Amino acid sequence: MTEFLFFIEVVVGGLLAGTMYSLVALGFVLIYKASSTFNFAQGAMVFFAVLAFVGLMELGLPFVLAFFATVFLMFLVGYFTERLVLKPLMNQSEDTMLMATIGLGFVLEGLAQAAWGVEVRRLDLGIGDFPIPWIADSTGLFISALDLTAGTVSISMIIGLSILFKYTKMGLGLRAVADDAGAASSIGIPLKSIMLMVWTTAGIVALIAGMMWGARAGVQFALVDLALKALPVLIIGGFSSIPGAIVGGLIIGATEKVLEVYIGPFFGGAIEGWAPYVLAIFFLLYRPEGLFGEKIIRRV
């Protein structure tokens, strides 16, 4: 394998890993768009959703039924979050909402483990995580079907959600709520339904992200920590931009892999845990709204 081909493989591998980060970041973006709140519970939602999905399949539900049952469960999570957390805290500061999502995350983690146990589960989606022979033979690159599936799913979801929020009445309502919840409510936009829809959609995104990650690493508590991978993606892509989630994910994925492979050995390795945050800090210094985020202009 030539050094150039190896470099290409590192970059391609990073881009594919980045699409997996984007999947997690998407859930954050949805909530942020609706309530300007960083949903700290998103990592827990990923774990909660996919653990419920696998648990339901263990109870004998077929794949499709388990998927829709989990979607309904995430709807319930959204419903109760709206009723018990968001509504009572309406008009409170963003900091209060942030703290509430941290608490929600702990509740979901605890509930998931109490309901389904702490054992690590295997999730077989029927998609191989082995190198695709014809790609390996023709290019020398080792890319698996799961890599390609994750990339395709990420891009499809981003296109779908972009259309939903840009061109539908529901999306218009959401943008109005995000802009000024009070004004949106006064002209008859149903705040409750909008919030419910956003949290349910974030729940579905969490489920799909959990399925992709679970298929690779097993369904387990460590999925909660995926939130840490999504944070620099959001800072770079912009907290409120759906396309930003994929671009941020690709940048983080490719950069961290290149840095880990070529610079990591000089630092004793394992720099990909913190290197993306260094990049994120640069963005915060020079472009705090991220690549695609809305510029925040405040009257002084």
Partner 1 sequence: MKHRRQRNLVLTFIAAAASIFMFTQNASAQESQYFPVASSRVGPYSAMGTGYYGAQIDYMNYVNMNGGVNGVMLTWQECETEYNAVKTVECYQRLLEKDGQRIVVFDTLGTPGAYAVINRMAEDQVVLAQYGYGRTDAADGRVWPWVFNAASHYWSQIAVKMKFMAEQEGGIDKMKGKKIVHLHIDSAYGREPLPAMRKIAEDWGVTLVEISIPPPGLEQQSQWLQIRRENPDWVTFWGAGSGMNSTAMTNAARVGFPRERMIYVTFGAAEEDMYPAGDAAKGTYAMANALPGDQYPLVQRIKEQVYGSGKGNLADEKRVGSVYWNRGLGAAVMWVEALRIAQEMHNKVGKAVTGAEFRDGYEALNMTEERLGEIGVKGMVAPFAISCANHEGAGKFAMMQWDGTKFVQVTDWEAPLDPGFIRKLVEESAAKFASENNITPKQCS
∠ Cα 251 125 209 (to 5°): 35
- The closest alpha carbon to 161, from 198, 115, 209, belongs to 198
Which residue in 87, 122, 166, 192 binds partner 1 (CB under 8 A)? 122
110 touches partner 1 (CB under 8 A) = yes
Query: Scanning the structure block, which residue is given the tokens 């892509």?
Result: 237
Residue 23 burial (CB < 10 Å; 0-12/13-18/19+)?
buried
Please report, as residue ranges, which positions from 238 to 257 form the binding site for partner 1 (by CB under 8 A). Answer: 256-257
Which residue in 71, 73, 107, 113 binds partner 1 (CB under 8 A)? 113
Q: Toward partner 1, which CB reaches closer, 171 or 214?
A: 214
Helix 169-179 to helix 191-217 angle, to the nearest 10 degrees? 100
103 touches partner 1 (CB under 8 A) = no
Q: Toward partner 1, which CB reaches closer, 82 or 256?
A: 256
Binding mask 173-212 for partner 1 (x = CB under 8 A): ----------------------------------------
Work out the number of other CB atoms within 10 angstroms of the CB of residue 263: 13
DSSP assignment string, 123-182: ---S---SB-HHHHHHH----BHHHHHHHHHHHHHHHHHHHHHHHSHHHHHHHHHHH-HH
10 touches partner 1 (CB under 8 A) = yes
Q: Which stretch binds partner 1 (CB under 8 A): 180-188, 235-243, 266-274, 286-294?
A: 266-274
6 touches partner 1 (CB under 8 A) = yes
Residue 144 phi/psi, 5-degree rounding, is: -100, 165
17 touches partner 1 (CB under 8 A) = yes
Nearest approach, Cβ of residue 176 and partner 1 (Å): 38
221 touches partner 1 (CB under 8 A) = yes
Nearest approach, Cβ of residue 237 and partner 1 (Å): 18
3-state DSSP assignment of residue 268: coil
- Name 144's bridge partners: 131
Q: Which stretch binds partner 1 (CB under 8 A): 16-24, 193-201, 230-238, 292-300?
A: 16-24
What are the residues binding partner 1 (CB under 8 A)? 1, 6, 9-10, 13-14, 16-17, 20, 109-110, 113, 117-124, 129-131, 142, 144, 213, 216-223, 225-226, 229, 256-257, 260-261, 264, 268-274
